[in-house]
């Protein structure tokens, strides 16, 4: 949501539509203005950062798309622990976050579901955080490389309408801008949180804490900000072991057990719950370190270096609900329940654990002149230097055989070069152009090896099981122009050319290795947007864009091993081919900004993990779905001092209808709703500022009917295994005893709703927070 318009800036910004800001900023969203430059009045809305009083515009006002913004002034009154929490009330956007510290938090927006991670781009200060190694919940952005208390502003750009961003922007692009100190500062933040969770055989509290500290200073032309963070949390049960209710009579020799729970699953089939399995109850410990430095070589040339480190361990414990007549726990084998026979697989209740070390390196060099030509260069490297995932071969507390998967040497590197032109006196008349030209390069690489081990918890590698590896590379050039050709008309048009290739892909099982031929593709993506200022307060905009989302390494090569055969995913995948359209109206009125948007995305060759039902035996892997159409409407309002002085209000409602129009591999899905796209999303956030020291926030989140299968057979969604309709309320009270201290208490899921994204979401969660600064 857009930042509230405080009374002190409303005169310069509060009643100005976004398109009218075009004459006052350069195209480059990360460009800075020199300290001694004459700053246009619009920059009063941006936070200060850097050295020498440099001011960084939050986002390019010439972007041909819907942009929603949130700043600390707003989200400091929410329950925020992880960086992705600042997006929790954005219009038509949801974050799949199952618990505090969840490694798999990805965003879902408009017609992009919460398993299509490759349809989103996330940048922090121009450095790419998106994990485009794959396309599922297992490949989330690396949110942990940004500390929430260092965020200056977050902008969400909806859709692929800008030529500045790759086809992965099909869903949304998230631009995170962090602050830099102007003088010496030191800050500390401590949070504690707890939830009580009750479902099936689990009824207990799960607790966690987070601590962070930072120190920074600006010394002449040099500034730095150093931060450390430690998080520890135990999740609620994320997954349960289940078996379909049996109709086979028990046999002599079956072990009689008790303790199972029964319910009707997402397809209304009677189901037995045996215990907590899979990801289980996950205990995670995360440690982060971040150093960012900047140096002003001249009044108009600035360089920067970023170093980030993230280390995490997890331990997923399982438990059985089943006990024999003597009270001994039962984890596997043939058992008798209610007179019927059940066969519990050896791995049904298997625990897991793992750890990883991640490094991020970034270098930036940019100019920041108020007009004329500017240039910037940004290089980044993300290195998974150590990654180990261990899984037991069977349930129980023992340290028996299992497997270990090594992911060392996985990561990505990027390079972005951009130059922009800003008119010297754009306010003087017509014919002004804001130009942008650029080059982009990225290289993603994965190398996973799985070994058998005799001691799954910490044993050494034994015999080789399998391996998967591969690389993708994309190079792109683009050009974009924003042209005000009449007093109230502006045309933003551009084109992006992308050349993609996949190479060095192979899969191996034992002594057998299957290499894959290199693949390549290239496409041209035109973009255009026309806006008209109907009045000084009302702007209309029509946008259309083509975008191509190329396959990721894991979609192409990360297969699975069944018995003695290797089943690859699909090295012949075609890129997703999207045409997006948007009509939008923005109206500055009644102490805030209204937005009404119609949108439609037509995506050919949607890449999705599905079952090909036209072959025998059926094959499940990543495949191209012929066509998926998503269309809908969004309306939102953000304002300050609404009816009452001190009352900030944000409300948004969205309707999205996403349907499969063609799918040759699974004809039964044609005409059905696409996977995990709710028909309705709505958010309401009200913050009342009693005075400068205290505030109370009440919020509600709603998500409507959605499906967990492409054929829409999950007719009982509000249970484990389904994807719920839900309404969740949140509350937080914030008190600031001094300018440099703060105390907050809050509750998420106030009424303890039990809702699911296949996995259960958290129960009622209490937060307490204390901040202190110098």
User: What SS3 class is residue 692?
Assistant: coil
Looking at residue 420, what DSSP letter applies? E
- pLDDT for the residue numbered 113: 96
Task: Give the up-direction half-sphere exposure of residue 181: CA atoms within 13 A in the CB hemisphere.
Answer: 24
DSSP 465-516: EEEEEEEEEEEEEEEEEEEEEETTEEEEEEEEEEEEEEEEEEEEETTEEEE-
* C-beta separation of 490 from 22 below 8 A: yes
- Three-state SS across 7-64? HHHHHHHHCCCHHHHHHHCCCCCCCCECCCCCCCHHHHHCCECCCCCCECCCCCCCCC
Positive or negative CA dihedral for 730, 733, 736, 737?
A: negative
pLDDT for residue 13 is more than 70: no
| Mean pLDDT, the chain, integer | 89
pLDDT for residue 565 is more than 60: no
- pLDDT for the residue numbered 51: 31
User: What SS3 class is residue 243?
Assistant: strand
What confidence category does residue 24 fall into, taking pLDDT thresholds of 50, 70 and 90?
very low
* C-beta separation of 143 from 130 below 8 A: no
Which residues have C-beta within 8 Å of that of residue 617, sequence separation ≥ 6? none
Bridge partners (DSSP) of residue 589 are: 592
CA distances, 256 to each of 78, 263, 267, 298, 336 (Å): 50, 20, 28, 80, 4
Q: Residues 680-698: pLDDT tens digits?
A: 999 999 999 999 999 999 9
> What average pLDDT does this structure show over 539-550?
97
Q: Residues 616-650: pLDDT tens digits?
A: 888 888 999 999 999 999 999 999 999 999 999 99
Q: What is the pTM of this model?
A: 0.90
Sheet-wide strand order for 172-178: 67-70, 151-158, 172-178, 120-124, 127-128
- pLDDT for the residue numbered 430: 65
* C-beta separation of 303 from 293 below 8 A: no
Q: Measured between alpha carbons, how far is 610 from 33 in angstroms, rounded to an integer? A: 50
Pair of tokens at residue 657: 């209808």
- pLDDT for the residue numbered 516: 85
Q: Residues 409-427: pLDDT tens digits?
A: 899 999 999 999 998 876 5
Bridge partners (DSSP) of residue 565 are: 562
- pLDDT for the residue numbered 507: 85
* Domain 7-773, second-level architecture: Beta Barrel (2.40)
Q: Residues 139-181: pLDDT tens digits?
A: 999 999 999 999 999 999 999 999 999 999 999 999 999 999 9
Nearest to 603 by CA among 570, 626, 572, 583: 626
Q: Residues 41-83: pLDDT tens digits?
A: 222 233 333 333 333 344 677 889 999 999 999 999 999 999 9
Nearest to 762 by CA among 282, 302, 333: 282
Question: What percentage of the chain reaches a pLDDT higher than 90?
Answer: 79
pLDDT for residue 505 is more than 50: yes
What confidence category does residue 615 fall into, taking pLDDT thresholds of 50, 70 and 90?
confident
Q: Residues 246-277: pLDDT tens digits?
A: 999 999 999 999 999 999 999 999 999 999 98
CA distances, 32 to each of 27, 64, 255 (Å): 11, 21, 71
- pLDDT for the residue numbered 365: 97
CA distances, 537 to each of 98, 157, 565, 592, 595 (Å): 41, 21, 64, 11, 12
pLDDT for residue 8 is more than 50: no
Question: From the CB of residue 640, how many other CB atoms can be counted at a distance below 10 Å?
Answer: 21
Q: Measured between alpha carbons, how far is 229 from 186 in angstroms, rounded to an integer? A: 14
The radius of gyration of the chain's CA atoms, rounded to the nearest angstrom, is 26
Q: Measured between alpha carbons, how far is 728 from 733 in angstroms, rounded to an integer? A: 17
Q: Measured between alpha carbons, how far is 176 from 172 in angstroms, rounded to an integer? A: 13
655 vs 33, residue with greater confidence: 655
Question: From the CB of residue 98, how many other CB atoms can be counted at a distance below 10 Å?
Answer: 22
- pLDDT for the residue numbered 40: 31
Question: What percentage of the chain reaches a pLDDT higher than 70?
Answer: 90
Helices (H), 502-584: 553-557
pLDDT for residue 12 is more than 80: no
Question: From the CB of residue 420, how many other CB atoms can be counted at a distance below 10 Å?
Answer: 25
Cis status of the peptide bond prior to 617, with omega within 30 of 0 = yes
DSSP 275-337: EEEEEEEEEEEEEEEEEEEEEEEETTEEEEEEEEEEEEEEEEEEEE--B-TTS-B--SEEEEE
Looking at residue 426, what DSSP letter applies? G
- pLDDT for the residue numbered 116: 96
Q: Residues 92-149: pLDDT tens digits?
A: 999 999 999 998 999 999 999 999 999 999 999 999 999 999 999 989 999 999 999 9
pLDDT for residue 393 is more than 80: yes
Q: Measured between alpha carbons, how far is 60 from 153 in angstroms, rounded to an integer? A: 13
Q: Measured between alpha carbons, how far is 296 from 570 in angstroms, rounded to an integer? A: 48
Q: Residues 35-46: pLDDT tens digits?
A: 333 323 222 233
* C-beta separation of 632 from 672 below 8 A: no
């Amino acid at each position: 949501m857009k930042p509230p318009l405080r009374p002190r800036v409303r005169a310069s910004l509060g009643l100005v539509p976004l398109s009218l800001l075009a004459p006052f900023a350069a195209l480059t969203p990360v460009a800075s203005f020199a300290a001694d430059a004459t700053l246009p009045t619009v920059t009063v809305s941006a936070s200060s950062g850097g050295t020498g009083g440099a001011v960084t515009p939050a986002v390019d006002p010439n972007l041909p798309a819907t942009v929603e913004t949130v700043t600390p002034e707003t989200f400091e009154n929410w329950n925020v622990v992880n960086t992705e929490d600042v997006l929790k009330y954005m219009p038509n956007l949801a974050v799949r976050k199952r618990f505090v510290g969840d490694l798999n938090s990805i965003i879902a927006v408009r017609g992009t579901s919460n398993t299509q991670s490759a349809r989103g781009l996330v940048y922090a200060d121009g450095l790419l955080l998106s994990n485009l190694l794959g396309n599922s919940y297992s490949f989330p952005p690396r949110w942990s490389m940004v500390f929430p208390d260092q965020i200056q502003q977050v902008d969400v750009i909806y859709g692929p309408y800008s030529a500045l961003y790759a086809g992965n922007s099909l869903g949304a692009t998230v631009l995170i801008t962090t602050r830099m100190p102007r003088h010496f500062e030191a800050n500390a933040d401590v949070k504690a949180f707890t939830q009580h969770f009750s479902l099936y055989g689990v009824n207990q509290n799960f607790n966690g804490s987070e601590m962070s500290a930072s120190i920074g200073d600006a010394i002449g032309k040099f500034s730095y900000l150093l931060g450390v963070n430690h998080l520890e949390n135990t999740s609620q049960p994320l997954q349960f072991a289940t078996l379909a209710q049996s109709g086979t009579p028990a046999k002599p020799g079956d072990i009689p057990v008790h303790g199972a729970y029964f319910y009707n699953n997402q397809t209304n089939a009677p189901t037995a719950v045996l215990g907590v399995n899979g990801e289980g109850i996950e205990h995670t410990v995360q440690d982060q370190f971040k150093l960012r430095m900047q140096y002003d070589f001249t009044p108009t040339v600035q360089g920067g270096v970023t170093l980030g480190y993230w280390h995490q361990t997890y331990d997923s414990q399982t438990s059985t609900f089943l006990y024999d007549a003597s009270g001994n726990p039962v984890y596997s084998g043939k058992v008798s329940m209610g007179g019927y026979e059940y066969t519990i697989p050896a791995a049904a209740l298997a625990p897991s654990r793992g750890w990883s070390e991640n490094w991020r390196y970034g270098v930036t060099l940019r100019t920041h002149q108020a007009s004329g030509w500017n240039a910037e260069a940004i290089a980044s490297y993300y290195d998974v230097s150590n990654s180990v995932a261990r899984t037991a071969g069977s349930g129980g507390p023992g340290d028996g055989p299992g497997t270990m998967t090594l992911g060392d040497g996985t990561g990505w590197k990027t390079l972005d070069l951009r130059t922009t032109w800003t008119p010297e006196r754009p306010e003087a008349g017509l014919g002004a152009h804001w130009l942008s030209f650029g080059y982009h390069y990225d290289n993603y690489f994965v190398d996973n090896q799985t070994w058998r081990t005799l001691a799954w918890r910490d044993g050494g590698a034994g015999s080789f099981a399998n391996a998967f590896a591969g690389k993708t590379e994309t190079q792109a050039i683009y050009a974009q122009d924003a042209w005000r050709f009449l007093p109230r008309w502006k045309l933003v048009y551009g084109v992006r050319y992308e050349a993609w290739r996949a190479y060095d892909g192979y899969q191996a099982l034992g002594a057998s290795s299957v290499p894959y031929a290199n693949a390549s593709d290239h496409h041209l993506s035109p973009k255009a947007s026309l806006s008209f200022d109907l009045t000084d307060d009302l702007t209309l905009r029509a946008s259309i864009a083509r975008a191509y989302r190329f396959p990721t390494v894991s979609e192409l090569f990360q297969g699975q091993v069944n018995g003695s055969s290797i089943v690859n995913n699909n090295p012949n995948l075609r890129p997703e081919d999207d045409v997006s359209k948007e009509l939008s109206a923005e109206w500055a009125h009644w102490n805030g900004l209204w937005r009404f948007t119609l949108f439609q995305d037509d995506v050919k060759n949607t890449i999705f993990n599905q079952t090909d039902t036209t072959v025998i035996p059926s094959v499940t892997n990543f495949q191209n779905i012929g066509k998926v159409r998503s269309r809908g409407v969004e309306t939102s309002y953000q304002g300050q001092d609404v009816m009452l002085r001190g009352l900030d209000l944000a409300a948004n409602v969205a309707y999205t209808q996403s349907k499969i129009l063609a799918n040759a591999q699974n004809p039964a899905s044609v005409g059905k709703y696409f996977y995990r796209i709710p028909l309705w999303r709505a958010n309401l956030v009200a913050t009342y500022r009693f005075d400068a020291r205290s505030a109370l926030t009440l919020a509600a989140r709603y998500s409507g009917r959605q499906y967990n299968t492409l054929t829409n057979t999950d007719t009982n969604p509000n249970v484990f295994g389904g994807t719920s309709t839900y309404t969740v309320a949140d509350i937080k009270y914030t008190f600031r005893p001094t300018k440099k201290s703060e105390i907050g208490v809050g509750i998420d899921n106030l009424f303890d709703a039990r809702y699911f994204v296949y996995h259960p979401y958290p129960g009622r969660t209490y937060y307490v927070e204390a901040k202190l600064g110098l």
